[in-house]
Each structure stands twice: as structure tokens, then as C-alpha cells.
Amino acid sequence: MNKSLLYKFLIGISFLMFFSCEEILLEKDISKEVEVLVAPVNNAKFFSTGVTFTWESVPYATKYQLQIAKPNFANPMQIVLDTMVTTTSFTQQLPIGDYEWRVRAVNSAYSTNYVSRLVSVVSDVDFQSNTVVLNTPANNLITKTALQSLSWQPIIGATTYQFQVYDGNNTVISDQTITDTGLNYTFLEGSYFWRVRASNGTQQTLYSSHAVLIDTIIPNTSVLTSPANASTTTNKDVSFQWSRIPISGSVEKDSIYIYTDNALTVLKLKNEASSPFTSILGFGTYYWFTKSFDQAGNMSTKSTVFSFTIN
């Protein structure tokens, strides 16, 4: 390697090391923190296969690593689970047997030590105490996609699942008994809850439910009012005003676009805004319009383009 290439290589390595060190310095050192486990208590015994593990949050941690070994980490026959989560609770189905679970807090640069406890699943006679964990979509989903792939975690010993969809008036609009742990369902426009419970033929769990809002309607197009089209002003403090009839559904917002050319290629300002919106501009001619968006991802057509001149 010649001297020039070697020099560039060393500069590159120094650059990477600098920014890697910077990233570490920006993270809080949590390595001395002690993770506190909440439940289950040590040596807890369960008569259902669903176990919810809970721990306390650690300041400046971004994730938590949860591991479960059978029967323990000293002599593991199987690592049942090794997952990163952002919450401080996780539910896992465990066959009858003895286990050790442990948790540590982590961020991008540091981690705490693991803290562990023992737990046993003695039997599944208390089937009804299981909790059906709904996977997808996430709770309180707001979307313009009517066809949703619904899924949930299987319950050990379950033979069927009762699936229901009901609306905001608590009216059941779909009620199905299925053996799978998911299905595709097309929602109509509006707000709904979907819920699932498991059955082993003699016992049923409680229902677990998620909310979903389906909004497929694009927002109305705004009507611009001020500054009037092709108007002239000497005031650099410009008040932009428009109106729009809202549509019920997900939250709607407006964005304003201001250009300095009539081809709309040189963008002066783009902002999420509500009418009236004020901006200080210099001398010249400007072209502006608005678009509307909703929380479900729908977008309106752009409004009429207005121009005005400040001189």
C-alpha cells in the first residue's frame, strides 16, 4: 500500500473511531443500574401455560432483553425465548416444566447485568387463566387499508378460537369459530374492535381486544381566500387564509407550500399549518397552495395555486 492510500485509510479509521466514541459518549451509562423484576415471584408455580413476565423500567434504557431457559441457564436443555422488547411486560406460552427467566436493560452502548428468577408450569388445568396475545395489527391502528391480516399467539391446549368484530355501538358484526391463529378480514369504513378468546372444548379464556379505525376517504380540497390570486401588497408579514370542510374519521391536517416560481420548482417554504398562517417574506412574486392529509394516510388533491407580489 503506497503512502497516499495508507494515509487515507488511517484518516478513515480515525473518522469512524471518533464518531463511534461520540455515540457512546452521548448514551447514558446504565451498566451500574440494577434491573428490578416484578412478577412472577421466584419459584412461582402456574396451573396455566400463559405466563406474563413484568419488570421495572430503567432510566435511559431503550430496550430490554428477555431470555427464558429450560430448566435453567446453568444447565440449559433449551433456550425457549431470547427477545428484545421496548415494553416492561411480555406474555409467553410455556409447556409444563421448570424454567428460569432473566431480564437486562440495554441501550445502544451499555447494558445492565441480568437479573433472574425461577418459575414452574405445573399443569394446564386452569386453562381459562390464559391470555390471548394479539399480534397484528397493533392496538388503536388508524389506517386507510380495509383488508387487514389479523393474528394472535397460539394457546397451548386450545382447540378453537372465537373471533368477533363489533362496532362503536357494541353491535357484533362478525362472529366466527376457527382453528387457526389468524385470518384476513375486510373492515368497512369506521371504528371497530376485534377480539379473540381461546377454548379447549370445556374452558374459555377471556377475550383480548384491539381497536382499529378504517378511514379510506380523502380529505376535502381547501379553498384559498387570502392573499387573493394575482394580488399585490407592500406588507412582508403575510397572512395566508383558506377554508376546508372536514370529514369525520381520522384527524385531518393541512400543509402549505410556497414557491418563488410559477413552475413550482423552487420551494420557499413548506409547513404543516392551520388557517390563518403567517409568514414573513421578502420582495418578489410567490405562488402558494395547500394540501390536506389525515392520520390514516389519505391525501387530498392540491388546492388551486394562487400568486401574489410583495413590492
The verdict on residue 17 lying in a domain is no
Domain with 71 in it: 37-125
Predicted pLDDT of residue 111: 96
CA–CA distances in Å: residue 211 to residues 34, 120, 208: 36, 34, 11
Predicted pLDDT of residue 16: 53
Predicted pLDDT of residue 109: 93
Task: Tell which of 66, 92, 125 closes a domain.
Answer: 125
- The CATH code of the domain that includes 43 is 2.60.40.10
Question: Is there a single domain that holds both residue 149 and residue 209?
Answer: yes
Total tally of structural domains belonging to the chain? 3
Question: Is there a single domain that holds both residue 154 and residue 234?
Answer: no
How do strand 115-121 and strand 44-46 relate by DSSP bridges? parallel
The closest alpha carbon to 44, from 153, 119, 154, belongs to: 119
The verdict on residue 28 lying in a domain is no
**What is the C-alpha separation between 256 and 238, in angstroms, rounded?**
13
Question: Is there a single domain that holds both residue 92 and residue 159?
Answer: no
The verdict on residue 117 lying in a domain is yes
Question: Is there a single domain that holds both residue 137 and residue 200?
Answer: yes
Cβ count within 10 A of residue 185: 17
Predicted pLDDT of residue 167: 94
Q: Do 84 and 129 touch, CB atoms closer than 8 A?
A: no
Q: Which residue stretches of the chain have pLDDT < 50?
A: 15, 18-20, 22-24
Predicted pLDDT of residue 25: 57
Give buried/exposed letters for 55-69 (b at 16+ CB in 10 A, else e). Answer: beebeebebbbbbbb
Question: Is there a single domain that holds both residue 193 and residue 238?
Answer: no
The verdict on residue 290 lying in a domain is yes
What predicted TM-score, i.e. pTM, was given to this entire model? 0.80
The verdict on residue 1 lying in a domain is no
**What is the C-alpha separation between 107 and 28, in angstroms, rounded?**
8
The verdict on residue 302 lying in a domain is yes
The verdict on residue 165 lying in a domain is yes
Predicted pLDDT of residue 12: 56
Reported as a single tens digit per residue, the pLDDT across 71-95 is 999 999 999 999 999 999 999 999 9
The verdict on residue 260 lying in a domain is yes
CA–CA distances in Å: residue 292 to residues 178, 189, 259, 279: 41, 19, 18, 19
Alpha-carbon dihedral sign for residues 14, 16, 19, 23:
negative
